[in-house]
Homo-oligomer: A and B are copies of this chain.
Amino acid sequence: MVLVLRGELRLTAGKAAVQAAHAAVMLTLAAEKRDASAFDAWQAGGQKKIALVVPTLSDLESLERTARGKKIPTVWVEDAGLTEVAPGTRTCLGLGPAPASEVDAITGELPLL
């Protein structure tokens, strides 16, 4: 599971953590519903997660298209905008869970958050 934040928003560490947590929860609930046995395997494997960062929304959108093209599950986090950003702002893209090799192929070059 890869949680990709949008660097240009310059979120605080706490706000970024919450966006990543939103994405992880949404991906988890979707995975559980979609394929319980694959989900159990991911859980048993330590529920691996990593947080990465791209500069802009356009980078995030491009990553989402690539992931969808490869059938990797994706989810957008839109912030309610009560604090640091405007309502409905896309703050984070979640990817997975998916085999490490598939995810690495599209996110392996991105820097850690």
Contacts and interface: CB of A to CB of B under 8 A. Distances in A.
For chain A, which range describes its interface: under 10, 10 to 19, 20 to 34, or 35 or more residues? 20 to 34
A18 B49 contact: yes
A3 B25 contact: no
Interface string A25-46: 1001100100000000000001
Contact of A23 (B21, B28, B51, B80): B21
Count of identical protomers in the assembly: 2
A86 interface: no
Nearest to A13: B13
A100 interface: no
Interface of A: 1, 3, 5, 12-25, 28-29, 32, 46-47, 49-53, 80, 112-113
